[in-house]
Structure 1
Amino acid sequence: MYWCSVTTKIAFLVTIGLILSLTGLMSYLFLPYIVEYNVKQQLVLSPTSMTFDGWQRPSIAIYTKFYIFNVTNSDAFLNKQQKPILQELGPYTFRETHEKVNISWDHMNGTVSYKTIRRWHYVAEETNGSLDDEVVHLNVPMISAANKVSKSVDQSFISEALNVIIEESQSLIFKRNTVRQLLFDGYEEVLLEAAKDFFPETPFTRFGWYYMRNNTSTDGIYRIFTGEKGINRLGLMDSWNNHKINNKWFGSQCEKIEGISGGDFQPPYRLHPKPKNIDFFAGDMCRPITLDFTEEVDYNNIKCDRYMATSALFNYNLPENQCYCHTSSCPANGVLNVSVCTQGSPTAISYPHFLYADNIYLQSIDGLSPNLSSHGFNMDYENTLGIPLNIAIRLQINTVIERNDQMDFAKNFSNNPLYFPQFWFSTTAQVNDEMVEQLNFLVNLVPHYINIISILLLITGFLTLTISAVFTYRSKRNLHISQRQKYKAVEMISTSSK
């Protein structure tokens, strides 16, 4: 009876020990995959998903700082006495907000289409100067007019008419306007009114770099994959402006849209192998931007992969970039002509102060000093979920000045194009403390807790099995001793009876 009771207890302890050990082992081996599966399901974009609100109206603080170039020697430059000397003004700081509108879901294909409205709100306390600061700047509508004439069918008639208008209106190549006019308010320009007669596609009679862009959508219609048909395609583009190819450029590499990130996030759990580079589409540039992996960084105790825009982005020695050239010859490395995105206006994008660019650009302008820490372009992505945590987008806007013998004001320009810096901007964004805490819990603490719980279960199970083994040994030993004592008692009784 005693041995049956002991056996029951031992069996119970062994069972508990095995269950705890197996549970700990299974938790260690499989629970991370279960968590990963559930996280992936939550990341799938839908009207009811946990990611929808933050995707539609990002709550992170986005700030854009504008640095305007003031021309200090416009007369000497026009008289060919000096190259342009620029003075950097600013920053003029704005809080930027984004909202996705016209959202349309296609569950059959697992995609969603939308447009993004961008709004800018002036932040005076973060600004060096005032929006009423005056700037001597290049009269972009005049330069654009000369460029339009050079590409028009009836060049002679249009050039003669514009020359008369410029002379009668006393339009100047360099003008003086306030920062607010140059950015969002715009300034009146007679040439723009006249241009509508010759170029009906001219949208406005005022010019400002962001004129009529505040509280509007200007970067096209995006259609991205929601992850519903495969989480590995989450956030990647399916089309832009309802086209599967990018018809702004020529060549299969530059026409490619599908598989490029829409910019909000990268597909999660792409760790093995880690992507060497990532692409995200920039509607204002009508092309993707390629960022190269540079290093792992720590952002508030969260491991991130830093991707940077490098010299390769505007390097025309690379075959994959040559389809971004508009003519038979590419410009010197370091700039991208985006006139296909600006209705023919001769505009070029570069890094601020011609960072990474060919020396020919710096040699033609005074007042620039490229610096990687101030002018670099980088994004830090959390390396498990693919969420951007820290962003610094920095680009420079340049106007291309070219000689045009049919326009009186452009006859004396150099035969070599001059890439004239107008301004550069720095758009930075960082996730808030609440999101950092949530991500830290999900990517750091949850795996840590899983390991701790699994190890505790294994240890408890092992100890339980050890205790059951010891208990079994002692029980058998006690039973053996008990039986020996019983046999001795029997022998003593037997001997005494004799």
Structure 2
Amino acid sequence: MSVYFFNVLNPQEVLIGGKPMVEQKGPFVYRKRIQKDNITFHDNGTVSYREYRTFYFEPTMSSGNESEVVTIPNMLVLGAAGMMENLPYAVRLMISATFKTFKEGPFLTKTVGELMWGYDSGLVDFLNTWLPGMLPTKGKFGLFAEFNNSNTGLFTIFTGKDDIRKIHQVDSWNGLTELNYWKTPQCNMINGTAGQMWAPFMTRESTLPFYSPDACRSMELVYQRDGKMQGIPLFRYVAPKTLFANGTDYAPNAGFCPCRQSGLLNVSSCRHNSPVFISHPHFYNADPVLLDFVQGLNPTEEEHGLFIDIHPLTGVPLNVSIRLQLNLFMKTVSGITETGKIADVVMPMIWFQESGYLDGPVLSTFHTNLVVLPAVMEFMQYGFIALGVATIIIASLLHHKFKRNEGKDGFTADENPNTSTGEKDPLLRDHQ
């Protein structure tokens, strides 16, 4: 997993209504170890499991180390300000006083390690004591603190034993067959697989539906083009522009609202009502107006588009790159002086890329069994057909030649006038 931070260069200007200027810092690379546990097979052709994940920093693959310092918006302050906007003015004043007591400002300058995995905060301790359940963590507060050494929930998926077309499809998640985060039944549906493989024998009309607990919804990728990886044929699937479109531009997404510009997914309903939005990195495939509010972004498909390369015969991913960006909606909230005169802006904080690909002995075995051997078998198939046709032709020619020679040189006993049977010549007999 590669993580990129948007380091804010002008926090003081932002507080007086200026346009934020950011510079991208990273990647900070982590190796993600995934292990399934509590595996239980059921009689209805399903299996349940929990998938645990642990992250390990890879300094040799990173552009810097976890001690590097960056400045980003303070989610505890600016996020809470957005959540408390409609509370009475006196309550907002008290909240602002609380921020001052614990010396929490609108922007944080911390090390990468602290921002990722947590830092000590008196405000966090206070909130967990007096408002339990308000924050996702009970210890240190960090952007990825709740993801490390955790699991993605209890998945129950189909094994495909009875119907290969249902392999890996999600039957339920945490005992639920549908979600309750969103406003419409369609948006609350748990569709597709768990995102690790799909049914075999795919065509270019096939799609890749999967459920993502981190995004709190099901998503679907579409075919883009054919390709090859180490000689192995593949289909590339990408996110359609409608994936994060708002309800105005794409009506089926109305259930994910309240929406802002297209290209943003409002995940506040599953993130403790904090004004958090998910998008593609650098607002790729989003409404261009989002780029006008922040300086320092440059979206490209090559660097910021997500994709999954699938071997169509087996439905197994060969190369995967899932790229998402975490954004915080910031605005001025009267009574909470920490927000200053911040102009309304969807502020990018970090983006991350989870990537993986087949390599080594696994890739060699895959290539041998699913590319080389089928090619050899196909060649042998046509070779045997050609050999069979050639054998039939040669046998027919020999048979025809043998018959012709027999007709020229061979006489049977009935046809021989000198036979000793005493039979008369047929001409003489006919004359008689």
1:322 corresponds in structure 2 to 254
> Given that residues 93 and 124 in structure 1 are in contact (C-alpha distance below 8 angstroms), is that contact kept between their aligned partners in structure 2?
yes
Deviation at 1:136, TM superposition (A): 1.6
Pair 1:151–1:379, CA change in 2 (3 A): farther
- Return the alpha-carbon distance in structure 1 between the equivalents of residues 35 and 90 of structure 2: 45
- Whether 2:82 is the aligned partner of 1:147: answer yes
- Whether 2:201 is the aligned partner of 1:269: answer yes
- Return the alpha-carbon distance in structure 2 between the equivalents of residues 261 and 206 of structure 1: 33
Deviation at 1:74, TM superposition (A): 0.9
Deviation at 1:198, TM superposition (A): 4.6
- Return the alpha-carbon distance in structure 2 between the equivalents of residues 362 and 374 of structure 1: 16
Pair 1:455–1:137, CA change in 2 (3 A): closer
1:425 corresponds in structure 2 to 352
Point out which structure has higher relative CO (alpha carbons under 8 A, 6+ apart).
1
Output the amino acid matched with 1:216: S
1:279 corresponds in structure 2 to 209
1:299 corresponds in structure 2 to 229
1:37 corresponds in structure 2 to none
- Return the alpha-carbon distance in structure 2 between the equivalents of residues 367 and 466 of structure 1: 74
Pair 1:488–1:404, CA change in 2 (3 A): same
2:21 corresponds in structure 1 to 85
1:65 corresponds in structure 2 to 2
- Return the alpha-carbon distance in structure 1 between the equivalents of residues 130 and 86 of structure 2: 12
> Given that residues 189 and 205 in structure 1 are in contact (C-alpha distance below 8 angstroms), is that contact kept between their aligned partners in structure 2?
no
1:449 corresponds in structure 2 to 376
Q: What are the equivalent positions in structure 2 for 1:390-469 lying under 5 Å apart?
A: 390-410=319-339, 412-414=341-343, 416=344, 418-469=345-396
- Whether 2:263 is the aligned partner of 1:334: answer yes
Output the amino acid matched with 1:174: F
Pair 1:471–1:360, CA change in 2 (3 A): closer
Of the candidates 35, 38, 43, which is equivalent to residue 99 of structure 1? 35
Deviation at 1:101, TM superposition (A): 1.5
Pair 1:189–1:360, CA change in 2 (3 A): farther
1:213 corresponds in structure 2 to 147
Pair 1:360–1:468, CA change in 2 (3 A): closer
Output the amino acid matched with 2:131: F
- Return the alpha-carbon distance in structure 1 between the equivalents of residues 103 and 162 of structure 2: 61
Q: Larger deviation: 455-464 or 240-249?
A: 455-464
1:245 corresponds in structure 2 to 178
> Given that residues 16 and 340 in structure 2 are in contact (C-alpha distance below 8 angstroms), is that contact kept between their aligned partners in structure 1?
no
Output the amino acid matched with 2:140: R
List per-residue Cα deviations over 1:182-203 (Å, max 9, x = no partner): 112x112222222235531033
2:288 corresponds in structure 1 to 359
Pair 1:292–1:460, CA change in 2 (3 A): closer
User: Tell me, what secondary structure is at the counterpart of 1:221?
Assistant: strand
- Return the alpha-carbon distance in structure 1 between the equivalents of residues 407 and 299 of structure 2: 89
Gaps of 5+ in 1: 1-63
List per-residue Cα deviations over 1:344-379 (Å, max 9, x = no partner): 222111111111211222111111111111111111
Deviation at 1:452, TM superposition (A): 2.7
TM-score by length of 1: 0.78
- Return the alpha-carbon distance in structure 2 between the equivalents of residues 465 and 363 of structure 1: 75
Q: What are the equivalent positions in structure 2 for 1:470-481 lying under 5 Å apart?
A: 470-481=397-408
- Return the alpha-carbon distance in structure 2 between the equivalents of residues 322 and 306 of structure 1: 28
Kindly indicate which of the two structures has a greater share of residues assigned to helix: 1
Pair 1:145–1:191, CA change in 2 (3 A): farther
2:313 corresponds in structure 1 to 384
- Return the alpha-carbon distance in structure 1 between the equivalents of residues 153 and 170 of structure 2: 13
- Return the alpha-carbon distance in structure 2 between the equivalents of residues 465 and 148 of structure 1: 83
> Given that residues 224 and 262 in structure 1 are in contact (C-alpha distance below 8 angstroms), is that contact kept between their aligned partners in structure 2?
yes
- Whether 2:106 is the aligned partner of 1:176: answer no
Deviation at 1:479, TM superposition (A): 4.2
- Return the alpha-carbon distance in structure 2 between the equivalents of residues 461 and 355 of structure 1: 58
- Return the alpha-carbon distance in structure 2 between the equivalents of residues 411 and 220 of structure 1: 40
Gaps of 5+ in 2: 423-432
1:131 corresponds in structure 2 to 66
- Return the alpha-carbon distance in structure 2 between the equivalents of residues 289 and 428 of structure 1: 17
Pair 1:483–1:275, CA change in 2 (3 A): closer
User: Tell me, what secondary structure is at the counterpart of 2:5?
Assistant: strand
User: Tell me, what secondary structure is at the counterpart of 1:289?
Assistant: strand
Pair 1:489–1:111, CA change in 2 (3 A): same
- Return the alpha-carbon distance in structure 2 between the equivalents of residues 132 and 78 of structure 1: 27
Pair 1:358–1:459, CA change in 2 (3 A): closer
Moved beyond 6 Å, runs of 4+: 485-489
For the aligned residues, what is the CA RMSD?
Answer: 2.5
List per-residue Cα deviations over 1:408-446 (Å, max 9, x = no partner): 3236333x3x21111111221111133333333343334
1:204 corresponds in structure 2 to 138
- Return the alpha-carbon distance in structure 1 between the equivalents of residues 402 and 207 of structure 2: 66
Deviation at 1:395, TM superposition (A): 0.9
User: Tell me, what secondary structure is at the counterpart of 1:472?
Assistant: helix
> Given that residues 339 and 345 in structure 1 are in contact (C-alpha distance below 8 angstroms), is that contact kept between their aligned partners in structure 2?
yes
Output the amino acid matched with 1:433: G
> Given that residues 339 and 346 in structure 1 are in contact (C-alpha distance below 8 angstroms), is that contact kept between their aligned partners in structure 2?
yes
Q: What are the equivalent positions in structure 2 for 1:30-41 lying under 5 Å apart?
A: none
Q: Percent identity?
A: 26
List per-residue Cα deviations over 1:63-92 (Å, max 9, x = no partner): x11111111111122133x31111111111
Deviation at 1:157, TM superposition (A): 6.0
- Return the alpha-carbon distance in structure 1 between the equivalents of residues 409 and 14 of structure 2: 114
- Return the alpha-carbon distance in structure 2 between the equivalents of residues 324 and 427 of structure 1: 24
Of the candidates 145, 157, 160, which is equivalent to residue 224 of structure 1? 157
1:235 corresponds in structure 2 to 168
- Return the alpha-carbon distance in structure 1 between the equivalents of residues 164 and 349 of structure 2: 42
> Given that residues 141 and 189 in structure 1 are in contact (C-alpha distance below 8 angstroms), is that contact kept between their aligned partners in structure 2?
no
- Whether 2:280 is the aligned partner of 1:344: answer no
2:241 corresponds in structure 1 to 311
- Return the alpha-carbon distance in structure 2 between the equivalents of residues 438 and 466 of structure 1: 40
Output the amino acid matched with 1:364: F
> Given that residues 106 and 339 in structure 2 are in contact (C-alpha distance below 8 angstroms), is that contact kept between their aligned partners in structure 1?
no
> Given that residues 158 and 198 in structure 1 are in contact (C-alpha distance below 8 angstroms), is that contact kept between their aligned partners in structure 2?
no
- Return the alpha-carbon distance in structure 1 between the equivalents of residues 180 and 67 of structure 2: 40
> Given that residues 182 and 208 in structure 1 are in contact (C-alpha distance below 8 angstroms), is that contact kept between their aligned partners in structure 2?
yes
- Return the alpha-carbon distance in structure 2 between the equivalents of residues 142 and 396 of structure 1: 20
